[in-house]
């Protein structure tokens, strides 16, 4: 598949894999006997929960910071890197910057759970709590870039970020080259877009299924509108899927539109039940955004019988109080 106007190609993803080698874990793809029996299919779980930063975001953040150092030298990042995040990207930038010897500042809205804030601070990054949404936090990021000369590491809308996330797709194709479907949480589109680019370039017939929140699904609403649109950010068990895609989106809107085959929105109840099911039957602690693939299979009755299906368990950043809420909601 050739590189399109979004700037991401299979070659970019292979380059990203070279850059992040030794910094990011190649995560296992494991068979789930319980889910396979439940859906009469071979269900495989991609365990990004095992990344040292706790989520897939480490791939893109490491690739971008390493690429900037490679192209411009470490001195070009002397003022530090900065980003806004719903938690996982901020932690990934803090982790990658620490390993690569670059100072980092992470701007977080008040919607980001306290456990994710603490995890970022523990990595030595400076944290600024700003505004009621990720979009408002980005206003502070723009100020820091403008006034302090810091370098933005965007959460998703950059070819280097999407290519880094796409390394996950390479691993899927190497470990299960005959996959019928990959189910991925959809928010800003860096993860689904990167995975989709890698998978479709290698095996075009594999379906890429996106899963969004029932409310505040910015990328899905933008795709329906045919252009990036703003949506109200709402609280969710899957808080990592919140936030807009940027009205000036240059990369991931086009990338997702190119590679995604189908899409489903899931309710909070379905997310809660999926989180509990994964904990009870797989003995894996996952955040809401990591459980939406299972939520979609259960809520929408996707026809996967006899197929080989990978669910991307994207991260483990769940607070105990959030897990308690999920249990309560699932037991209603």
CA atoms within 13 A on the CB side of 1: 23
Is position 98 annotated as part of the catalytic site?
no
Beta bridge partners of 290: none
Residues with Cβ within 8 Å of residue 201, at least 6 apart in sequence: 1, 9, 10
Active-site residue identified among 85, 109, 236, 314: 314
The DSSP secondary-structure symbol of 31 reads E
Is position 57 annotated as part of the catalytic site?
yes
Q: Are 85 and 104 in contact (CB under 8 A)?
A: no
**Chain centre distance of CA 115:** 18
Active-site residue identified among 46, 53, 57, 116: 57
Report how far residue 92's alpha carbon sits from residue 330's, in angstroms, rounded to the nearest whole number.
30
HEC secondary structure over 248-308 = CCCCHHHHHHHHCCEEEEECHHHHHHHHHHHHHHHCCCCCHHHHHHHHHHHHHCCCCCCCE
Task: Catalogue the active-site residues.
Answer: 57, 314
């Amino acid at each position: 598949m050739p590189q399109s106007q979004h700037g991401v190609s299979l070659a970019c993803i292979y380059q990203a894999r070279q850059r992040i080698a030794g910094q990011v874990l190649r995560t296992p793809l494991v068979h789930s006997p319980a889910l396979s029996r439940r859906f009469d299919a071979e269900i495989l779980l991609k365990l990004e929960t095992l990344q040292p930063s706790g989520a897939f975001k480490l791939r893109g953040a490491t690739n971008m910071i390493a690429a900037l150092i490679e192209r411009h030298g470490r001195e070009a990042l002397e003022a530090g890197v900065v980003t806004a995040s719903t938690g996982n990207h901020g932690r990934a930038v803090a982790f990658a910057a620490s390993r690569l010897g670059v100072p980092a500042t992470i701007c977080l809205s008040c919607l980001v759970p306290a456990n994710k804030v603490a995890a970022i601070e523990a990595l030595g990054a400076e944290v600024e709590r700003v505004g009621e949404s990720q979009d408002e936090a980005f206003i502070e990021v723009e100020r820091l870039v403008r006034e302090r000369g810091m370098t933005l590491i965007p959460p998703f809308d950059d070819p280097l970020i999407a290519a880094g996330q796409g390394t996950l797709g390479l691993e899927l194709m190497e470990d299960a080259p005959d996959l019928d479907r990959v189910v991925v949480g959809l928010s800003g589109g860096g993860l689904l877009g990167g995975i989709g680019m890698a998978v479709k370039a290698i095996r075009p017939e594999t379906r890429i299924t996106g899963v969004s929140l029932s409310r505040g699904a910015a990328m899905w609403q933008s795709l329906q509108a045919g252009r990036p649109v703003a949506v109200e950010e709402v609280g969710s068990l899957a808080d990592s899927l919140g936030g807009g895609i940027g009205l000036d989106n240059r990369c991931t809107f086009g990338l997702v539109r190119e590679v995604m085959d189908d899409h489903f929105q899931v309710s909070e109840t379905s997310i809660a039940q999926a989180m509990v099911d994964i904990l009870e039957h797989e003995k894996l602690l996952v955040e809401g955004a990591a459980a939406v693939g299972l939520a979609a299979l259960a809520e929408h009755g996707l026809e996967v019988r006899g197929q080989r299906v990978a669910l991307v368990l994207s991260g483990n950043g769940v607070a105990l109080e959030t897990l308690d809420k999920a249990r309560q909601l699932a037991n209603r």
